[in-house]
Amino acid sequence: MDELRIPTQPELWAALGRLAIAHTHLELILRYTVKTMAGLSVSDALDATEGERTSDVRRRIRKLFAQKKTAESEVLKLDALLNRARVLSDKRNDFLHSAWSETETGEAVRKREGDHRWVRAPSKEDVDTVTTKIMDLAGEINDARLDGFIDEVIKGKRLGKE
């Protein structure tokens, strides 16, 4: 790519903005999960996790959860949620941390990591699909935290033991 240009498709910009906001929601829900699991105030939990990478927050959640002497099935449920969060964060990072440009014919392209080749950029629809998955997962984690299996673990209840 000899000359870098910002892609001129406003609908793509909007989709990328929604993706950034959705991922910030996911990050906040993960930090709230630390709050819930550690029994902290919102302020203390947010202060304690300020500036942490999302991967560090996920690691902290796993550690706090393990301290609750959870059943293996509960650990696996949490791992499934956190692994989906990791995959979606990686996809978001791939989209938002790439160098983007536009060809002379107006096609959005981005530089791929690894081989540094310029490839077709994701479409607005591709970005919207990831955004929807992130928002759905944030809701699922929040529900588990507020009155699902995470809440049951925090309150000392166990799956299948009530």
Mean pLDDT of the chain: 92
- 108, part of any domain: yes
Write out the residue range of the structural domain in which residue 48 sits: 10-154
Q: Is the residue at 162 inside a domain?
A: no
User: Is residue 161, in this structure, part of any structural domain at all?
Assistant: no
Pair 27, 54: CB distance under 8 Å: yes
Q: Residue type at 98?
A: S
pLDDT at 157: 64
Q: Is residue 1 part of a domain?
A: no
Q: Is 80 among the domain residues?
A: yes
Half-sphere exposure of 67 (CA within 13 A, CB side): 11
Is residue 5 situated within a structural domain?
no
Q: Given pLDDT bands bounded at 50, 70 and 90, which one contains residue 156?
A: confident
Domain total in the chain: 1
Report the C-alpha gap between 51 and 70 in whole angstroms: 28
Question: What integer pLDDT is reported at residue 71 of this predicted model?
Answer: 87
Residue 25 makes CB contacts below 8 A (sequence gap 6+) with 134, 135, 138
Residue 162 is predicted with a pLDDT of 42
Residue 126 lies in a domain: yes
Q: Are 58 and 30 in contact (CB under 8 A)?
A: yes
